[in-house]
Structure 1
Amino acid sequence: MLVPLTMADFLDRAEATAFGRTAVVDEPGQLPTTTYGELLHRIRAWQAGLDALGIGEGERVAVVGPNSARLLELLYAVPASGRICVPVNHRLAPEEIGYILRQCDASVVFTDPEAEARLGSLGGPKRFVLGEQTETQVMGFGTEPRPWSRPDENAVATLNYTSGTSARPKGVALTHRSIWLNAMTFGVHARIWEGDVYLHTLPAFHCNGWGAPFLLAGLGAKQVVLRRIDGPEILRRVREHGVTLAFGAPAVWDVVLRAARDWPGRIPGHGTMRVVCAGAPVRAELVARVEEELGWEFLQVYGLTETTLLTFNRRLPGAPRTDLTRAGAPALGVRLRTGPRGEVLARSNMVLDGYWRDERANAAAVQGGWFRTGDVGAFDERGSLALSDRVKDVIVTGGESVSSLEVEDCLLGHPAIAEAAVIGVPDERWGETVKALVVRAAGAEAAEAEIIAHCKANLARYKAPTSVEFRDSLPRTSNGKVRKAVLREPYWAGQERRIN
């Protein structure tokens, strides 16, 4: 018997087993706390509303905003009805968001009030603001939506945009099958169960919160929404709701550690809380502090938006903490190997279906049945992967990927800049930070602060350089390419790895 694996499976089980259990605790002043029965009622209202708007199966429904209960509802409702959900990074500049909406040909956009204020008069498809407008104009058409006509596990469920190495974001098409398997595989390795209380420290637009929200619904686990990262607030939520599980980049746990210095008494979650870290390489010092100062279990995973989960790393009893600085062993069902230049190659049922409408990118990314990660690494005798460098010029700062080409393009839009190169340099807080090396145009003057302000005005703020160095010239190869390895060397000298 072959039954399609779809996102509806997780909702069906929630209805059968967790109807009266607490589902989602939203931010104060937002949606009231819902049970899974109430959540499923609202999901059907969203789906009926999309029917009434004439949004057909396979059409793209974009959502722009920080974590919220309504965003989570759409992440469930849209794919489970045969449509494609496009959760967009609300931190991007309006022009970047506009490009994504055009590239995926979104039929409708739902925006958080905060994001709507930034988008202003941006053109494109019809937009609805999450809140009173969507409650009356979208969700007021009953709760009996049309069923998905032909459920297909190979249909695209979500499009998640990643900057990659190009100046334009690429839409990563993930199917119902790949998301289903990722959720279940993640659950096995992280030992997620019905009694967990999950805190959404990870933005849902980051690869659908790495896929955990789907499994959490299927298990009927309680989910607590966190709109923005705030150390004291994270500790308060852990105490108030009995949180046991959260995901995030190293920068998130740095924020919590700073807040813990002033926390009175025993740290909430001591001995019961576990955190799953990814998005940037991990320092041994961070592992030690999370375990000793917070009393939280530290787990590490490695993956990309294009691959979802690739490795999982849990420190076994008696093993040194330094083991957790490695990416870890391949997850169940994942095959990894290294290719030319030590590039990590991946193969699994969880790898992307393809880049949306970008055959050139597909041809470059998947070769001989293996996905090229762009990361350089090596395996030890136990099969555990350690990453050491990147083939591609992507800078990962605080868990966010930044395309150096995109920042360089922005810099060259400043009239005082003739040449520009952008590299990642080590940073204690963010892992890496963006550094611009620029050559001024003849006779032009521009201060560091002015150039950084120019980038912040035209890019998402996290993409802007944190420092600018002026040069008389940039080293180039014989065919004119900037020699970024030469530029990076002074900043990474003495570092064991060329990622931080």
Structure 2
Amino acid sequence: MKNAVNAMPVYAPVAHDEVMEAIGHKIQDHALHRGSHPALISDHGIVSWQTLMNRVNRIANRLREAGLQQGDSVAALSENSAEYVALYLGTLTAGGCMVPLSGMASAESLALMLKDCEAQFLFVSRKNRDLLIAFRPQLELLPDERIIALGEQGEGIGQGLSDWLGHGPGDPRPAEVSLDDPFNIIYSSGTTGTPKGILHDYRFRQRQIMRLSRFGLDGDAINLVSTPLYSNTTLVSVLPTLFYGGTLVIMAKFDAHRFLELAEKHRVTHAMLVPVQYQRVLADPDFDRFDLSSFKVKLCTSAPLRGDVIADAMARWPGNIREVYGLTEGGISTSLDCAAHPDKWDSVGLPTEGAEVRVIGENGKELPPGETGELVGRAISMMRGYINRPEQTREMLWTSPEGDVFYRSGDMGRIDEEGFVYILDRRKDMIISGGFNIYAVDLEKVLLAHPAVADAAVIGIPSEHWGETPLGLIVRRAGHDETESEILEWANGQLGKAQRLASIELREELPRSTIGKVLKRELRGPYWNKAAQ
């Protein structure tokens, strides 16, 4: 790619480092040896591996014919679909670097991202037509012929994908790539300026694919995909399934009841879900009527899965749960085997093979087991850096006394005597009230234990006396009419004096990202903006 990444990767040594199996080469075998096996299942039907590979190769060949050079960025703005998966694989097969973009981002941010990664092509679904129209004038260097509709009709976007492909050849010509070549750029979430572009190379992805295959994400997997493809959460399970020739069942948009219908119908074996999805699926009134006996492993990431939710899922939902904690940047990597460690469900597990996690204090010094500080880690998968942001890349690094480089997570946590890692809060979300550190997760656990509380978030709001003070925002469970003051009195009776909530407010729902994270910055904004006036 044309972007110079001003921070070189740091890797823990592993024996299989030099093995190279590019996904563009690997998947060609699936068309030959399991051509009739389902590769993709969606509301539009079943796509076999032979059909998928023909589409993938046509996309790859057309991209190169249209001017794609090795390492060039190809961006996509779309909901999940079979065409999107084909485009992703086609870009990699052509030697390009895939840049999946979020439809939740603003038009201004999307324009900045596309300039930042120097996208040479942009594929947009019809659903995102209005977004494209809003930022199209800012893409002076991207000609119309390189903006393609990811679908059959352009409808103001440009030429449709099928028309753009024409009758081009579908013969396999996968690009020769190295472990150091760019694989994808994932943009971090952000509401101001340009989100940081996280560059993964083939080494990062290959190591991750091999590690996740140990959870059974292989050629026999039937993986139900319900989180968006622009999220690393999704790619963690999607890429190994495709690499080994399994089957993806694709949801364009998550719906708990529809998830259960698809899981039963297609005998799904695996799924990557975020915590709020577990809660919604388990809360479906028809949950116990569905046959979910085909499940082998369910994965969870993006935020810690509460112990009570794990208990409910382990009791009612066949198959194990493997909770995965990590950063899109890499470095931090832990996993919790819920079946093997029922006494550790409040943790995010142990460091994975080749990973190391430590805790540091405000002064950057390492803290002993049991003490709370910022989690830092190094692992076999670590990003190349933030593109065009060498200073922000350097700010993320922490060097141990032994001279090893770790990534700072921004998460506050601790490690117990047995090595299990516990997350307490995002560092930026920690509440400092009267000089005491208050971790929202401790207060949220108490609120969620109240029978009237269905969902909860705790944020710090301005306080003249304490600097800031904790406010509880709750969603009341259906059928309950307890007041805010009643719930506040109950919760503060369970909390320590320094932790007590100043007040509680009822909400209809809590704002969440598309991968289920509560948007605390959005919740805090009105209170701090008012205080600044």
Same fold? TM cut 0.5: yes
Q: Following the alignment from structure 2 to structure 1, what is the Cα–Cα distance between the partners of residues 41 and 30?
A: 16
Percent identity at matched positions?
Answer: 20
Corresponding residue for residue 353 of structure 1: 384
Q: Structure 1 length as normaliser, TM-score?
A: 0.76
Per-residue CA deviations over 1:412-471 (Å, capped at 9, x if unaligned) read: xxxxxxxxxxx99958666648888799xxxxxxxxxxxx9xxx9xx9998583587657
**1:128 maps onto 2:148 in alignment:** yes
Given that 2:228 and 2:515 are in contact with CA atoms closer than 8 Å, whether structure 1 keeps it comes out as no
Per-residue CA deviations over 1:117-160 (Å, capped at 9, x if unaligned) read: 33324222342111111011135422246542x42111111000
- Alignment map for 1:168-207 (pairs within 5 Å): 168-188=194-214, 190-207=215-232
Corresponding residue for residue 61 of structure 1: 74
Given that 1:173 and 1:354 are in contact with CA atoms closer than 8 Å, whether structure 2 keeps it comes out as yes
- Alignment map for 1:228-267 (pairs within 5 Å): 228-259=253-284, 261-263=285-287, 266-267=289-290
Given that 2:217 and 2:237 are in contact with CA atoms closer than 8 Å, whether structure 1 keeps it comes out as no
- Alignment map for 1:105-184 (pairs within 5 Å): 105-123=118-136, 124=139, 125=142, 126-132=146-152, 133-138=160-165, 140-144=167-171, 147-148=174-175, 150-163=176-189, 167-184=193-210
Runs of 4+ in 1 over 6 A off after TM superposition: 433-439, 459-462
Corresponding residue for residue 323 of structure 1: 344
Corresponding residue for residue 51 of structure 2: 38
- Alignment CA distance shift 1:473-1:236 (3 Å): closer
Q: Following the alignment from structure 1 to structure 2, what is the Cα–Cα distance between the partners of residues 365 and 166?
A: 20
Q: Following the alignment from structure 1 to structure 2, what is the Cα–Cα distance between the partners of residues 3 and 430?
A: 46
Q: Following the alignment from structure 1 to structure 2, what is the Cα–Cα distance between the partners of residues 83 and 228?
A: 27
Corresponding residue for residue 418 of structure 2: 382
**1:285 maps onto 2:308 in alignment:** yes
Corresponding residue for residue 465 of structure 1: 522
Q: CA deviation at 1:316?
A: 3.9
Q: Following the alignment from structure 2 to structure 1, what is the Cα–Cα distance between the partners of residues 192 and 297?
A: 35
Corresponding residue for residue 339 of structure 1: 360
Corresponding residue for residue 3 of structure 2: none
Query: What secondary structure sits across from 1:120 in the alignment?
Result: helix
Query: What secondary structure sits across from 1:257 in the alignment?
Result: helix
Given that 1:436 and 1:468 are in contact with CA atoms closer than 8 Å, whether structure 2 keeps it comes out as no
RMSD, aligned CA: 3.4
Corresponding residue for residue 487 of structure 1: none
Q: Following the alignment from structure 2 to structure 1, what is the Cα–Cα distance between the partners of residues 188 and 204?
A: 17
Given that 1:94 and 1:119 are in contact with CA atoms closer than 8 Å, whether structure 2 keeps it comes out as yes
Per-residue CA deviations over 1:336-374 (Å, capped at 9, x if unaligned) read: 222234221111231101101111111111233211111
Given that 1:276 and 1:298 are in contact with CA atoms closer than 8 Å, whether structure 2 keeps it comes out as yes
Q: Following the alignment from structure 2 to structure 1, what is the Cα–Cα distance between the partners of residues 531 and 279?
A: 35
Aligned length: 423
Q: CA deviation at 1:226?
A: 0.6
- Alignment CA distance shift 1:165-1:362 (3 Å): farther
Q: CA deviation at 1:95?
A: 1.8
Equivalent residue in structure 2 for 1:365, among 384, 396, 413: 396
Q: CA deviation at 1:14?
A: 2.4
What code does the residue aligned with 1:171 have? Answer: G
Q: Following the alignment from structure 1 to structure 2, what is the Cα–Cα distance between the partners of residues 245 and 262?
A: 20
Q: What are structure 1's unaligned runs of at least 5 residues?
A: 396-422, 440-451, 476-500
What code does the residue aligned with 2:40 have? Answer: V
Q: Following the alignment from structure 1 to structure 2, what is the Cα–Cα distance between the partners of residues 66 and 434?
A: 31
Moved more, 333-342 or 86-95: 333-342
- Alignment CA distance shift 1:274-1:432 (3 Å): farther
Given that 1:63 and 1:88 are in contact with CA atoms closer than 8 Å, whether structure 2 keeps it comes out as yes
Given that 2:332 and 2:407 are in contact with CA atoms closer than 8 Å, whether structure 1 keeps it comes out as no
Q: CA deviation at 1:327?
A: 1.0
What code does the residue aligned with 1:299 have? Answer: R
Corresponding residue for residue 501 of structure 2: none
